[in-house]
Structure 1
Amino acid sequence: MSNPDVIVVGGGIGGLGVAFSLTRQGRRVRLLESAPAFGEVGAGIQLASNCTRILDDYGLLEEAKSLGVVPDAIVMRDAVDGAELTRLDLRDVEKRYGYPYLVIHRSDLHGLLLRACRRAGVELINDAHVTSYENTDGGARVTVASGETYEADMVIAADGLHSPARKLFVDDAPVSSAYVAYRGIVPAEEPRVKSVDLSEVVVHIGPRCHFVHYGLRGGEMLNQVAVFESPKALAGEEDWGTPDELDAAFDGTCDFVKDGLPFMWREKWWRMFDREPVMTWVHGRIALLGDSAHPPLQYIAQGAIMALEDGWVLGEHVARNRAEDGTVDWSTALAAYEAVRPEHCRRVLTTSRKWGELWHLDGVAREQRNVLLRARDTHDYAFTDWLYGPTALTPDQEPEMFTPIPLDSVPVGEAMPAGGAV
């Protein structure tokens, strides 16, 4: 491919998603990945209806379902006493929104998208670490660490939390939440796996900590995530989130949670950062996508989904602005993309922060939260419609039932669905 239409920077879930989205619209796409090989780290990932809808449109949903688990419910419990607080009926969620809620290993989702890109003809280049971006007459250019340059009509920066492209828009830095995540996989033969219901996604919420578990790969393994606030981070120490803090953070939780800690990977942990929302994502022919634009905290399980939504929306607007001769009005397509995505992702980012605060309450506030959650009707979708409903292509496209509700109008304890987790 000597002259691609689009350069995508970043070979993660967001980069592969937008590369496939644009290729299926007839665009020639070159994807640059800094690593020597494609791959994804981590464990489980949750895909709500607003994501499985896109996978279905891409023709990838059945393959994704074959690799993952379609659970029956999300259950929220108190991490201190283990009591159930509320639940979301995911079979009913599928009926309401038309598409299932799916949990899948992150590497399986990444591999699915990588295979789709290869079949579609995306040009995939490894060992290409992009260091700078610039606009040109009628397009944009990137420079990689070797000094080599690549040009196209449009450049999409899907290069994550520390994207160099973001500096074109705002001079900011990642915001530390002082929380850290540990992950782990429990094999099916362990007694712990036999003691849980693999048809449920369960989150135990506790004072300054929470614990998530659900089945993966058809029940072959149990995915676990332990998240807690680091006292060392609050004290300004550089070495924070260490295993000794993990054990101390969950000391006051119920036996089920504490019994899961020995299965966590202790040699690696993930410090949790986001950034302040920005409403400008397009600079000439350079556009941000995914975590480069809106890295959220993980509490409503929408980070990867928002990146895939970004790519789908951009692909649809490219199709809408394609002339009969195949040429694209790139500026109009990018303007339309920027008109609909930043506000929705701002709300996802800020809601994720508030939902995390709600999970981690202590004392009287925890007791008040628990009362409100127990009073919630299982089939109350007032606070999921805006998130799981159709992905808007224009600012006024969303049906009335999916009109976003201002966060400051929502009572504490009812601000978000009963689901969502790291």
Structure 2
Amino acid sequence: MDRTDLSNAKIVVVGGGIGGIAAALALATKGAEVTVLEQAPEFGEVGAGLQIGPHGSRILSKWGLLEPALAMGVLPKNLVFRDALTAEVLTTVDLGEEFRNHYGGPYFVIHRSDLHRLLVDAARTAGAELFTGVTVRSVVTDGDRAIVTSADGRTWQSEIVLGMDGLKSTLRHNISDDDPVPSGYVAYRGTFPVEQLDLSYDPDDVVGYIGPGCHFIQYPLRGGTMLNQVAVFRSPAFERGEAEWGGPDELANAYSNCHRNVQDGLKHLWTDRWWPMSDREPIDSWVDGRLILLGDAAHPPLQYLASGAVMAIEDADYVAEYAARRYPDLGNEGWPVILAEVNKHRAPRCNRILTTGRMWGELWHFDGTARLVRNELFQTRDTTSYKYTDWLWAYSPTYA
């Protein structure tokens, strides 16, 4: 058996989103027999655009997927923060050659469904078995086995189970009785061909307008042929304690004081669906017997650091790399040691992103004097320094 080999290891992944499929790919590439169980009737990712920082692109490069991902997406020139009320530029992050050299990979944007499809094809090619229409009800550890049971009574046996069933994870209840924590903010999205749009935008950049109680994001997709927009605002109905909140009736009012650039963009959003934004309280333990939670099931963040999908990709990379190095010596009996180490390494990283994301969201949405102070701090930031972003983008999960 090779020293980085998972041959004969049987692993079930619950959840077929980006994280679950990435884990299936990483583990199958190491030789594991991987089965993915997805609840939806077919594989696919809802939503629109996705930002992938260099902490994600380096892993995709290792898996041989970066070039095809870039061919489907866009390499923006800059990240630009603007004041939502005045549209003045507050700070810019140059994503050019110096940035890519410093971090060993690019920052790029891609349609979520394009990246998901790329991962699905690669996972199947690597030998993973992917099943849809399976609602998993329970995972129970029985000695050196994990038994997965679906709602219709089917069972699967494996050496371990990765619970990657998202923010509203059923399997998280094996470990914690907590529920998602609503932020009071709601997101509206829209992705449209650029020829259908009658608004001005920066076609080479990811632009974030940040303002009191709201923000608005724009960036191109699919080689610049589409524009992705995201509007996020704090819901007055949530603040009043109403059960239903964040509906389209609140959308225009939330941006009534914003610059025309923002208000023009509101016309190009989907208003038949919206996404109330929630996360979870950080938990340090993700392991229950032969089950480990990963991805959003373990650490679902608010979206402010654009790292939710990348954290799940990091999880996939680390669990596959670490397991492949320990499994040849430890075998099936060694999984408790392997899962404990994965948990120990990944939880501090992911929980830091989760808690920092909450703080970053507050910073974006300041009003009054706090907004003016924030703007001045942004405008006087040393744009040549990486000291505030290295912790996020320079991190590598690969076990050595």
TM-score by length of 2: 0.95
> 4+ residue runs of structure 1 moved beyond 6 angstroms?
324-328
Instruction: Pick one of 202, 209, 213 that aligns with 1:204.
Output: 209
Letter of the 1:255 partner, please give it: R
Work out whether 1:287 is the aligned partner of 2:292.
Answer: yes
Candidates 23, 26, 34, aligned match of 2:28: 23
Q: How far, CA to CA, are the matches of 1:155 and 1:247 in structure 2?
A: 45
The equivalent residue for 2:5 is none
Q: 1:178 aligns to what?
A: 184
The whole-number CA distance in structure 2 between the counterparts of 1:148 and 1:60 is 34
Q: Tell me, yes or no, if the aligned pair for 2:44 and 2:113 is still in contact at 8 Å.
A: yes
Q: Which residue of 1 aligns with 2:56?
A: 51
Match in the other structure for 2:232: 227
Asked whether the equivalents of residues 317 and 398 of structure 2 are also in contact (C-alpha less than 8 Å), the reply is no
Cα distance in 2 for partners of 1:233, 1:367 equals: 26
The equivalent residue for 1:420 is none
SS in 2 for 1:228: strand
Partner in structure 2 of residue 137 of structure 1: 143
Distance 1:109 1:287, change over 3 A: same
Percent identity reads: 49
- For residues 95 and 328 of structure 1, what CA distance do their matches in structure 2 show? 42
Decide which of 129, 143, 153 is 1:147's aligned counterpart: 153
Once the two structures are superposed, residues 41-96 of structure 1 have per-residue CA deviations (whole angstroms, 9 ceiling, x without a partner) of 00000000000000001110001000000111000000000000001011132121
Q: Name the CA distance, whole Å, in 2 between partners of 1:38 and 1:393.
A: 28
Q: For residues 299 and 173 of structure 2, what CA distance do their matches in structure 1 show?
A: 14
Offset of residue 107 of structure 1:
0.3
Q: Which of residues 67, 70, 75 in structure 2 aligns to 1:65?
A: 70
Q: Deviations over 1:334-357 (max 9, x none)?
A: 122011100111100000000000
Match of 1:127 in 2: 133
State the one-letter code of the partner of 1:163. S
Is contact 1:321-1:332 (8 Å) kept? no
1:156-167 map, 5 Å: 156-167=162-173
CA RMSD of aligned residues (A): 1.5
The 1-side partners of 2:337 and 2:174 are apart by: 20
**Number of residue pairs aligned between Structure 1 and Structure 2:** 392
Would you say the 8 A contact 1:321–1:328 is kept in 2?
A: no
Task: Show the 5 A alignment for 1:357-368.
Answer: 357-368=362-373
Q: Does 1:262 align with 2:263?
A: no
Q: Write out per-residue CA displacement over residues 288-314 of structure 1, whole angstroms, 9 at most, x where no aligned residue.
A: 010100000000101011011001000
Whether the aligned pair in 1 keeps the contact of 2:9 and 2:332 (CA below 8 Å) is no
Distance 2:371 2:154 in 1: 55
Check conservation: 1:202, 1:213, Cα contact below 8 A: yes
1:101 aligns with 107
- Distance across 1 between alignment mates of 2:46 and 2:329: 42
Is 1:39 the equivalent of 2:44? yes
**Mapped partners of 1:68, 1:127: distance in 2:** 29
Task: State the TM-score, normalizing by the size of structure 1.
Answer: 0.90
Superposed CA deviations along residues 19-54 of structure 1, whole A, max 9, x for unmatched, are 111101110001101111111100000000000000
User: Retained in 2: the 8 A contact 1:23–1:29?
Assistant: yes
Provide the C-alpha distance between the structure 1 equivalents of 2:333 and 2:269, rounded to a whole number of angstroms: 49
Aligned partner letter, 1:308: I
* Maintained 8 Å contact 1:4/1:30: no
Deviates more, 1:320-329 or 1:36-45: 320-329
> SS at 1:295's partner residue?
coil
Contact 1:340/1:393 (<8 A) preserved: no
Cα distance, 1:191 vs structure 2: 4.9
Structure 2 residue corresponding to 1:249, chosen from 250, 254, 258: 254
2:20 maps to 1:12: no
Separation in 2, partners of 1:39, 1:328: 35
Distance in 2 of aligned mates of 1:190 and 1:371:
36
TM-fit CA distance, 1:327: 6.2
Alpha-carbon separation, structure 2, partners of 1:234 and 1:4: 50
Q: Per the alignment, in what secondary structure is the counterpart of residue 283 of structure 2?
A: coil
1:387 partner SS: helix
Secondary structure of the corresponding residue to residue 224 of structure 1? strand
Unaligned ranges ≥5, structure 1: 398-422
* Residue number in structure 1 paired with 2:221: 216
Q: How much does 1:196 deviate?
A: 2.5
Q: Which of 354, 360, 381 lines up with 2:359 in the alignment? A: 354
Instruction: Write the deviation string for residues 113-136 of structure 1: whole angstroms up to 9, x where unpaired.
Output: 000111111111111100111111
Shift in Å, 1:206 = 0.4
Give CA deviations for 1:204-224 in whole Å, capped at 9, x if unaligned: 000000000000000011100
Paired residue secondary structure (2:195): coil
Q: Aligned to 1:20, what secondary structure does the other structure show? A: helix
- The alpha carbon displacement at 1:236 in A equals 1.2
TM-superposed CA distance for 1:197, in Å, is: 2.5
